[in-house]
Amino acid sequence: MRQALLDALRLLWIVAVAALAGVLVASVFVPPIGLSSYRLDPRPARSYAAAMSRITATARREIGVARECRTRAYTHGARTRDVVVFFHGLTNCPQQFDSLARRVAARGANVLLVRIPHHGLEDRMTTDLSHLGAAELALCADDAVDLAVGLGEHVTVAGLSLGGVLAAWVGQRRPEVERVVEIAPLFAVSTVPRFWTVALTRLLITTPNRFIWWDGHVHERLPGPPLAYPRFSTRALGETLRLGLAVRRLAQRHRPAARELVLVTEQDDPAVGNASSFELAELWRRSGVRVTPFEFPASMHLSHDMIDPLQVGARVDVVYPRLDDLILPLQNAR
């Protein structure tokens, strides 16, 4: 599975280089289209009941979404001291975090599992993912914080890959968020040199979308989580990188709103470029944010998706205990 992922990302790089040859230099090297038109309009839930009502309404609107992939919450029937929001990864859905979410809830926190738009559809071969946009991602993350405020006093946001970028976005902008846990965040692609990220992003969001199989040998018969899509959209990847670049630009100019960042990485991650994550963490640290790094060694041979227990080669028996206290420190647990 690890080699298949590397092959898919190398194919992405080949596609990008080919497109680069046909794009004017001026259109490639200018910064990607920003999110200047996005306006934060916070509408925090005023109570636990109001938050639960909105979560239920959200799930009812998720037409065509697999039951296990709908937005949901694990709660204790009332507002708790801590609330944890989980954002899943690209082409997966909230079920990816279900087992970990239940562990966190058992420690006393209310937990919100968010479905990112265009994910989790019953038709795994859907082309809907190509419509994902950076502003839509930002709105999804901000809405989740609005709900979390009604579920608990102290808000932690955590996410894997694409979800890690969403967590960083609200950690940069939303003062309600206290702790951000980025797990292998997708700020850059492992197979693409870091200094090409801006150019690659521009290409992916301006050229026609393509779908690339996670494993070009088995196509839709991809082993692992049965609800995850077997291919990814180049446009969706570009919009993810675009939001990540927006977070970085904000961090260069403004102090993050969050007070603590936990950055979880895998040494030699086959999917993401860790250097970009380290650079953002350093920007936050210089602004006064408490930064706690944790890296799983390459010798563990983890998948980029280290969260889903159904992922090929999953080692949640090792990963989950490490994440427990990084997400919800022992002093916060019941």
**257: CATH:** 3.40.50.1820
Q: What is the mean pLDDT of residues 276-301?
A: 97
Tokens 């102090």 found at? 255
3-state secondary structure 237-265: HHHHHHHHHHHHHHHHHCCCCCCEEEEEE
> Cα-atom radius of gyration of the chain, to the nearest Å?
19
Range of the domain at 80: 2-327
pTM of the model: 0.91
Terminal CA-to-CA distance of the chain, rounded, Å? 38
Per residue in 154-205, pLDDT (tens digit) is 999 999 999 999 999 999 999 999 999 999 999 999 988 888 999 999 999 9
Query: For position 25, what pLDDT does the model report?
Result: 44
332 belongs to a structural domain: no
Sheet holding 72-74, edge to edge: 72-74, 110-114, 80-87, 152-160, 177-183, 260-266, 290-296
Q: Report residue 311 as tokens.
A: 């992922």
Per residue in 17-44, pLDDT (tens digit) is 545 544 444 444 455 556 877 888 999 9
Q: How far apart are CA 137 and CA 163, in angstroms?
A: 9
| Ramachandran region, residue 326 (left: φ > 0; alpha: ψ -120 to 50; beta: rest) | alpha
In total, the chain counts a number of residues equal to 334
9 belongs to a structural domain: yes
Query: For position 191, what pLDDT does the model report?
Result: 85
If one compares 16 and 324, the residue with the highest pLDDT of the two is 324
Query: How high does pLDDT run on average in the chain?
Result: 91
333 belongs to a structural domain: no
Q: What is the mean pLDDT of residues 48-72?
A: 98
29 belongs to a structural domain: yes
Query: For position 194, what pLDDT does the model report?
Result: 83
Domain count, the chain: 1
Q: Report residue 45 as tokens.
A: 């839930």
334 belongs to a structural domain: no
